[in-house]
Amino acid sequence: MKRASLERQNRHIPSHIILGIWTLIVLFPLWVMVINSFKDRLSIYQNPFGLPKKWNVANYTTVLADGDFLGYFRNSFIAVVLSLVILLIIGALAGYALACWRGRISRAIYFFCIAGMMLPIKIASIRLLELVKLLGLLNTIWALVPIYVAMGIPIAIFVLTEFIRAIPYELTEAAIIDGTGRLGTLLWIIAPLLRPALATVAIYNLVPFWNDLWFPLIFISDDRAKTVLLGVSRLFGQYQTDWSKVLAVLTLSAIPVIALYLTASKQFIKGLTAGAVKG
């Protein structure tokens, strides 16, 4: 018995080694970013990978006190959170409709929606700029919300539709027999079961939304409406760059993404292993 258990453990050793190496590869850039954010500019060039001899917190205090980076954080937070809320609502409604509506037309609509995953939205940047200008949203953070929602719709519909299809139809049927309407069934029966899939969609889209520089650079030139990564560009000079302050801002900007992942990691993994692979 012990021998069989030992053999099973030994079979997992190669996968554990690969995962360990991959973890180090992923964490190494974060390590370099964080430790260098506590150094002065000269120390970064002298010893970029080691711990600082003197921990310099002035980079963070200077960034928070002198620059308008709290305003940039607020702008990014509002644009990303609002986009995610709208995306999850639209994705859940569309996924529920496509999962319950069986037929050629629904399949055509479904494949049309998920085809957006193969087409980068950046190829339509000029047309999007014209549309944003026509709507009067230029130089505001509200210009980013519809763009981000459109970016996330394909993956949201893909994950949520497949997840809802995996839910036993008897639950929906029992709710309808009890007199619950379609919307009530979604809110009271399906929505509580959708938490892993919703967490998957939220985390999957949070990273590209938060780290997006392309669309803020195109749509926003007003300093009051800049996002955090667009605000970081102020620290890049023509002849020299204050890397210690740049890394301090990037470290602060990574906190929301890491915090959300840590709080929703269990739901995220459940969503990846359940709804996203069934169909």
pLDDT tens digits for range 137-166: 999 999 999 999 999 999 999 989 988 888
Lowest-pLDDT range of 129-138, 151-160, 221-230 = 221-230
Q: Is 150 helix (H, G, I), strand (E, B) or coil?
A: helix
What integer pLDDT is reported at residue 277 of this predicted model? 44
> Mean pLDDT over all residues of the chain?
82
Q: Which of 65-69, 163-167, 263-267, 270-274 has the lowest mean pLDDT?
A: 270-274
Asked whether residue 1 carries a pLDDT value surpassing 60, the answer given is no
Q: Is the pLDDT of residue 81 over 90?
A: yes
> What's the confidence (pLDDT) of residue 275?
44
pLDDT score of 109? 87
Q: What is the DSSP letter of 187?
A: I
Class for domain 66-277, per CATH? mainly alpha
Compute φ and ψ for 238, nearest 5 degrees: -70, -35
Question: pLDDT exceeding 70 applies to what percent of the chain?
Answer: 86
Note the pLDDT of residue 197. 87
- Residue extents of the structural domains in the chain: 66-277
Please give the share of the chain, as a percent, with pLDDT higher than 90: 20
CB count in 10 Å sphere of residue 151: 22
- List, for residues 37-47, the tens digit of each pLDDT value: 888 877 888 88
Q: How far apart are the first and last CA of the chain?
A: 38
State the Cα–Cα distance between residues 157 and 247, nearest whole angstrom. 36
